[in-house]
Amino acid sequence: MRGARLSRWLIAGPMALLALATIYPLVFTGNAAMKTRRDYILDRFAFADTLRWDNIATAWTSAGTARYFANSVIVVAGAVAMLLLLGSMAGFALSHLRFRGSRALFLGCLAALFVPFQVIMVPLVRTMADTGLVDTYPGLILAYTAQYLPFTIYLMASYYSAIPTEITDAARIDGNTTYGVYRRIMLPMGRPALLSVGVLNALFCWNDVLIALLMMPSAEHRTLMVGVTSLRGQYSADIPTFASGVLIAAVPVLAVYLFFQRRIADAVTAGSTKG
Amino acid sequence: MPLGDFTPLSARPALAGRAEGAATASRRRRQTAGLSAERLSPFVLIAPAVLVIVLFRLWPLLLGVNFSFTGDGERNGAAVGLDNYAELFADPLFLGALRNVGWLVLLLPVAVAIPGTLATFIYLRVPGHRFYRSVYFFPAVLSPVIVGSIFNLLLSFDGPVNTLLEVVGLGPVDWLGDSDVAIFTVLGVHIWATFGMALVVFLSGFATLDPALLDAARSDGATLPQVIRHVIIPGLSRTIQFVFVTTMIGMLTSMFGLIYVMTSGGPGGSTYLPEYYIWIQQGQMNRPAFASAASTVLFLVMLVVGLAQVSFLRRTGKED
C-alpha cells in the first residue's frame, strides 16, 4: 500500500513538469507583452516589474487588429448561428423521425465528415468565386457552415436520441405538429447540447486560418488569426507588441475555456464514444 | 418511435364532429394541407443541411477529382489525362511532403502513447489529477496560429529554449532553421498542442471501463504495467482505435496553421506537408488543376492510412 502511494508521487513529478511545460509558453508570452522592448532584450525570463498595457494598445490600434477582431466576431457569430439552426433541425429529423431515405442521409452526413477541407478547397473556392461569394462575410460563414455541419449534425443527433420518445409522443398527443415538437421540445430540452456544440464550433471557427486565408483575400476582411500572421512580419523587431497581438487573439479563447471547460470536453468526447 | 401522422388522426374525429355545412369544405382543405406539410416535415427540416453539405462538401470532391485531369494556364480546361499526376510525382517538393507523411505515421504511436499514459495516471487518480486534466487540455483549444506564434518566440535561435539548453550545457539547436530538425520541431509542437484532446477522449473511454476488473486485477496483486497490459489496453481497444485514426487525420489536416506560421515550408522545403503543398499550388502558383491532383492524392493517402490502421488495430485487438 505504501509502495503504491510512493510510486504515485513518482508519477506525479513528471506530470507536474509537463503541466509546467503546458502553461509556461503562455505565461512567457503574456509576460513579454507586459515588457518594454529594452527589458525584453535584456532579460527574457525576468517578470515584468509593472503591468504595462501600452504594447496591447499599440497592437490593438495599429495594424488593423481591431478591425480583424470585429471581422472574426461577425463571421463566428454568423457561422455558429447557422450551424446550430441547421444542425439541430437535421439532428432532430435524423434521430426522431423515421422517413424514406433517413438512413442513407445519415450515412451521407457521416461520409462528409471524412472529406477534409484540404481535399476540396480548390474546387470549393472556385465555386465560391464563380458565385461571387469569395471575400464576403456570407461566403466565409457558408464555408464554415459546410465545414463543421456534418460534425454538428452528428453531435446533435446523438444528443437528441437521448430524449425519450415518450416525451415527443406526449407532445404530439397535446396537438403539436413536428415543427411544434422541434420548437417546444427539442430546442428547449437540447439547450445544454446547443451550448456545448455552439462553444466548440465557435472555437473551431475563431481558430481557423486556412479557410479564412482562402476565402477572405482582401485586407479589410481579414479575420483575427490571419491578422496575427501578418503582425509577425510587421513587428519582427518588436517582440512585446507582437506578443500583445498574440495575446489579443488568445484571450477570448482562454476566457471561453475557463467558463466552458467541461462543456468543450463533453462535446469532444460525445463524438468519440457514441456511434 | 416517430409518429409522423399521429396528431392529424387523433384530431380528426373532434374536427369532423364540429364541422358543419359550408365550413366543412374549406376546413377539410386546410386539414389536408396541414397533413401534407406534416408528412413533408422531415424533409423540410433536413433539406437546408443536406443542401449545404452536398453543394459545398460532396460535390466539390467530385469536381476536384474531375478537375485534376485537366490542365492549367494555357491548357486551361483541356483534358490532360494523367499529366498532373506524372508531374506531381516528379516534383521533389511533393515527394518531400509525402516523406514527411511517412514521418507522421512513424511518430503516430508516440502521439497516441503520451495522452494514453497520462490519461491512465489521471484515471488512477494521481495526486492533483483534476488539475492536470484541465491544464493538459488547455492548449488543445488554442489556434495553431497562436501556438505557432508562441513557439516562434520560444524556439528562436537566441530564445528561451536554447538559453535553457545552454544552462544544462547543451549547445543551441537551430530548431526551425535546420532542415533535418525543423519538421520534427513542428511535429513536436503539434503534439504539444493536441495531446490534451486525445487525453480527454481517452478519459471518456476510461469512464466506460468496468472498475470491478481493475479491483480484481489489484487484489490478484497485478503491478501497474500488468494492469495496463491486461486490463486497460484490451478494455479500451475501441477508444485506442478511435484516437489512432483521429490523431492521424489531425496530423494530415490540421498542421497548416503551424507550418504557415512557423516555417512556411522551409528551410529548403523540408517542412512541406501535402496540405501546405496544395495551398501553395492553388494560392501562390495559381495552378488549381494541378493542386486538385495533389488534393486527390492526399485524399487517397488518408483513405489508405485510415483503412490500414483500422484493419491493423482490429487484428491486434483480436489477438489479445
Decide if A119 and B299 are in contact by the 8 Å CB cutoff. Answer: yes
Mean pLDDT of chain A: 88
Task: Check residue B160 and give its pLDDT.
Answer: 82
Task: Check residue B2 and give its pLDDT.
Answer: 39
* Predicted confidence (pLDDT) at residue A272 exceeds the cutoff of 70: no
User: In DSSP terms, which residues pair with B70 in a beta bridge?
Assistant: B79
Whether ipTM > 0.85 holds is yes
Q: Which amino acid appears at position B30 of this protein?
A: R
Give me the tens of pLDDT residue by residue for chain B, a chain 320 residues long. Answer: 333 333 333 333 343 444 444 555 555 555 666 667 788 888 889 999 999 999 999 999 999 999 899 888 777 777 888 889 999 999 999 999 999 999 998 999 999 999 999 998 888 888 888 889 889 998 999 999 999 999 998 998 888 888 888 888 887 888 888 888 999 999 999 999 999 999 999 998 888 888 888 888 888 888 888 888 888 888 888 888 889 888 988 888 889 999 999 998 889 889 999 999 999 998 888 888 999 999 999 999 888 887 887 787 777 665 54
Mutate to test the interface with B, among A26, A168, A178, A248 (most CBs of B within 10 A): A178
**CB-based contact B162:B172 (threshold 8 Å):** yes
0.80 surpassed by pTM: yes
Mutate to test the interface with A, among B39, B43, B45 (most CBs of A within 10 A): B45
**CB-based contact A245:A235 (threshold 8 Å):** yes
First vs last C-alpha separation in chain A: 40
Task: Check residue B27 and give its pLDDT.
Answer: 55
Task: Check residue B294 and give its pLDDT.
Answer: 94
Among the partner residues A19, A142, A182, nearest to B45 by beta-carbon distance: A182
Q: How many CB atoms lie within 10 A of CB B167?
A: 8
Q: Which of residues 72-131 of A touch B (CB under 8 A)?
A: 86-87, 89-90, 92-94, 96-99, 102, 105, 108-109, 111-112, 114-127
For residue B123, the chain A residues in CB contact (below 8 A) are none
C-alpha dist (Å) from residue B297 to A4, A44, A101, B98, B121 = 51, 44, 32, 10, 39
Q: Nearest CA of chain B to the CA of A114: how many Å? A: 9
* Predicted confidence (pLDDT) at residue A68 exceeds the cutoff of 90: yes
Q: How many CB atoms lie within 10 A of CB B109?
A: 12
Cell digits of residue B291: 493542386
Residues of chain A above pLDDT 90, percent: 47
- Nearest residue of B to residue A237 by CA position? B153
A2 CB-near residues (< 8 Å, 6+ apart) = none
DSSP B139: G
Decide if B2 and A97 are in contact by the 8 Å CB cutoff. Answer: yes
For residue B309, the chain A residues in CB contact (below 8 A) are none
Encode pLDDT of A152-184 as tens digits.
999 999 899 988 989 988 999 988 888 989 999
Task: Check residue A70 and give its pLDDT.
Answer: 95
Task: Check residue B25 and give its pLDDT.
Answer: 55
Q: Span A53-78, mean pLDDT? A: 90
- Nearest residue of A to residue B284 by CA position? A214
Among the partner residues A26, A87, A120, nearest to B150 by beta-carbon distance: A26
- Nearest residue of B to residue A215 by CA position? B283
Q: How many CB atoms lie within 10 A of CB B16?
A: 12
Q: Which residue has the cell 509577425?
A: A232
Q: How far apart are CA B124 and CA B57, in angstroms?
A: 42
DSSP for B71-90, please give it.
B-GGGBT-B-TTHHHHHHTT
